[in-house]
Amino acid sequence: MTDLALEVDGLVKRFRVPGGGARTAVDGLSLAARRGTVLALLGPNGAGKTTTVEVCEGYQDPDAGTVRVLGLPPRTPSLRPRVGVMPQAGGTYPGLRCGEALRLVASFAARPLDPGALLERLGLTEVEGTACRRLSGGQQQRLSLAMAVVGRPELVFLDEPTSGLDPQARRGTWELVEALRADGATVVLTTHLMDEAERLADDVVVVDAGRVVAAGTVAELTRHGAAGQLRFRATPGLDLDQLLSALPEGCLAKESPAGQYLVEGPVDPQLLAAVTAWCATNGVRADDLRVETRTLEDVFLELTGKELRT
């Protein structure tokens, strides 16, 4: 048994567009989700996240590339009880009540979670008797999440699980994802929210225009390229050559704009100590001294030249 819950290799998916021709939604995308971890597909709307997930769920066939879900082709019938799916929208009988809809899906599973407890945890107890078509968007999202996990699957696909949720409901969803991971399930989710990926994901795959533009752990992605920036504020016109002579070899220093200083080099405790020692010796009060770190948002902007929140 492989330790990968999901393997996508060179996935290509094209759609015919009206008026002839084809649009390539996914263009040679590869990714892997390790068992018992959370993988986030991060990218703007239209990046190909949903198409990728739908191929993995067996809803669409790839035009090229291979996909293995728990080691099997996505359409394998024996996968259905083992995989939980939360689509981006819809999927409940409008005429069934919230509790009925969840109990119906629970009745398809051999050892389902207790639907009542699940509704309670997701804050849906008050609307248990409400017809699905009368639920708010956020309530439908949470019901959809409950339906994805009630059968106790090994692997769960969540397509934009928190879009349209208020902060409290979002936290509830995050807690559920974290608990699933802690109990050994694998979660693959798509999001265009940085804080969501940063908080939940072990691995992040940044997707843009159907391609992977970066992949790795959150720490790897945010560390890379931002290594070695130290910033502080002080009186304008400090002697930078004198500062540099006090620092280890290979460092750079500049002042831009006036009074804002940037030191570039291998940021470690020694460098920090050298900078502060130089300031102490020269009677410089450094304000706002900080080691620069990047967020996933910076990474995305740098890699694609686009803002993520569109």
Catalog residues that contact another protein under the rule CB under 8 A: 57-59, 77, 80-83, 85, 87, 89-96, 100, 103-105, 107-111, 113, 121-123, 147, 149, 151-154, 168, 171-172, 175-176, 179-180, 182-185
- Closer residue to another protein (CB): 100 or 292: 100
Q: Considering the complex, what minimum distance in angstroms separates the CB of residue 122 from another protein?
A: 7
122 or 274, CB closer to another protein?
Answer: 122
Q: CA 274, CA 51: separation in Å to the nearest integer?
A: 51
Tracing tokens 């409008």 back to the chain, one arrives at 94
| Side-chain half-sphere CA neighbours of 6 within 13 A | 32
> Nearest distance from residue 69's CB to another protein, in Å?
12
φ, ψ for residue 10 (rounded to 5)?
A: 65, 40
Least separation, in Å, of the C-beta of 183 and another protein? Answer: 4
Q: Are the CB atoms for 202 and 37 separated by under 8 Å?
A: yes
Q: Which residues contact 63 (CB under 8 A, 6 or more apart)?
A: 12, 13, 14
- Distance of alpha carbon 241 from alpha carbon 289, whole angstroms: 19
- Residue among 91 and 228 whose Cβ is closer to another protein: 91
Closest contact distance (angstroms) between CB of 12 and another protein is 21
8/65 Cα distance (integer angstroms): 8
Question: Residue 210: how many CA atoms within 13 Å on its side-chain side?
Answer: 14
Nearer of residues 170 and 192 to another protein, judged by Cβ: 170
What is the closest distance, in whole angstroms, from the C-beta atom of residue 4 to another protein in the complex?
16
Minimum distance between the CB of residue 10 and another protein, rounded to whole angstroms? Answer: 24
What sign has the CA pseudo-torsion 84, 86, 91, 94?
positive
Closer by beta carbon to another protein, 187 or else 299: 187
Nearer to another protein, 138 or 151 (CB): 151
| SS3 at position 58 | coil
Select from 237, 193, 188, 222 the least CA-distant residue to 83.
188
